[in-house]
Chains A and B, each alone.
Chain A
């Protein structure tokens, strides 16, 4: 995520998603929207579903980058064999919203270096609350980390080219 959008954008998106899928009224709203419009299904990409729910930064470059990131999640693996990261998220949200007892949902991140896959767990992420959540965790790296990594690659490539010329 950090390679696509600013850290501040990533943070505000996490807040937005966790507010829209949170306990009580928000998750009830999502359940009703799913029932009426089937927003999350294999007919719609994660990008278009989030666009419909207006889960995005304000219009501008960051918004485009965010949507590009959602597209990119299709190239990420997930904790379910044969299912890419974006589809795993869509399937999880759909399954939960259509369940007889839907749980609130929480989006979080984990270091991509440790695990490149999108993971899903049922947990109690809020330590003082007994409420269970469906926790979706996406692999991410900080923006600076990604830029440093790219710079390292570029330097290594230049070195390689130089030594090849000699």
Chain B
């Protein structure tokens, strides 16, 4: 990777870290602390992302941008019997500290401060990590997304899932701090660059889509 690219990515990770550290300090380990409106919408996203997983056998799962580990709360209710070896990863040290405190007693659960997973798991999910662009220019942000998708492919044996926000309705003034895109852009990337099969899930009540990405058979 080019030196400039590394510098750009480092700056993006630092900005994300600052942003979410402030959020969690302000709102605590709650949906607002990770920029979602409420538990219900946060969990509706988990429903879509976890469609990539098969829970009929023990699995390992990487959760990229895990925040305070809200996915574990959902898993313990909706997939209580599933055997999951979980690794949560986040760039914010403050988030990881809260996650560790909240889920200290859960077996087979680890949290790490990092930008990507150091281990290969069966599945990976990343909820909302591409949405809050802040003041980054589009080119740099899309470079960050591409890098994250490559990392996800390399660290997911059976597949991974990510979500993106869809463009605003006509007439709405777009918030320049958010990244919105159409599915085609990243479906094409995953198919051509990552050599994967991609299913795009839409129409689940939120103005966004979820990509379920699996290695081509």
Give CA–CA (A36, B204) in the complex, Å. 9
When A25-B169, A36-B47 are in contact, do A52 and B39 touch as well, CB less than 8 Å?
yes
Q: Provide the residues of chain A in CB contact with B37, threshold 8 Å.
A: 53-54
User: Could you say which interface size class chain B belongs to?
Assistant: 10 to 19
Q: Is the CB of B44 within 8 A of A36?
A: yes
**Residue B41 lies at the interface, judged by CB distance under 8 Å to chain A:** yes
Q: Is the CB of B205 within 8 A of A54?
A: no
Q: Provide the residues of chain A in CB contact with B32, threshold 8 Å.
A: 54
Q: Is the CB of A52 within 8 A of B40?
A: yes
Q: Provide the residues of chain A in CB contact with B41, threshold 8 Å.
A: 29, 33
**Residue A64 lies at the interface, judged by CB distance under 8 Å to chain B:** no
Q: Is the CB of A31 within 8 A of B205?
A: yes
Q: Is the CB of B39 within 8 A of A33?
A: no
Give the nearest-CB partner of B205 in chain A: A32
Give the nearest-CB partner of A37 in chain B: B40
**Residue B83 lies at the interface, judged by CB distance under 8 Å to chain A:** no
Q: Provide the residues of chain A in CB contact with B206, threshold 8 Å.
A: 29, 32
Give CA–CA (A53, B205) in the complex, Å. 14
**Residue A96 lies at the interface, judged by CB distance under 8 Å to chain B:** no
Q: Provide the residues of chain B in CB contact with A32, threshold 8 Å.
A: 44, 204-206
Q: Provide the residues of chain B in CB contact with A54, threshold 8 Å.
A: 31-32, 37-39
Q: How many residues on A have C-beta within 8 angstroms of the other chain's C-beta atoms?
A: 16
Give the nearest-CB partner of A32 in chain B: B205
Q: Provide the residues of chain A in CB contact with B169, threshold 8 Å.
A: 24-25
**Residue A92 lies at the interface, judged by CB distance under 8 Å to chain B:** no
Give CA–CA (A39, B204) in the complex, Å. 16
Q: Is the CB of B205 within 8 A of A33?
A: yes
**Residue B147 lies at the interface, judged by CB distance under 8 Å to chain A:** no
Q: Provide the residues of chain A in CB contact with B135, threshold 8 Å.
A: none
Give CA–CA (A29, B100) in the complex, Å. 31
Contact bitstring A131-143, B, C-beta under 8 A = 1, else 0 = 0000000000000
Give the nearest-CB partner of A28 in chain B: B205
Q: Provide the residues of chain B in CB contact with A53, threshold 8 Å.
A: 37-38, 40
Interface residues of B in 8-44 (CB under 8 A from A): 31-32, 37-41, 43-44
Q: Is the CB of A33 within 8 A of B40?
A: yes
Q: Provide the residues of chain B in CB contact with A52, threshold 8 Å.
A: 38-40
A20 to chain B, nearest CB (A): 8
**Residue B81 lies at the interface, judged by CB distance under 8 Å to chain A:** no
Q: Chain B: residues with CB nearer than 8 A to chain A?
A: 31-32, 37-41, 43-44, 47, 169, 204-207
Q: Chain A: residues with CB nearer than 8 A to chain B?
A: 24-25, 28-33, 35-37, 39, 52-55
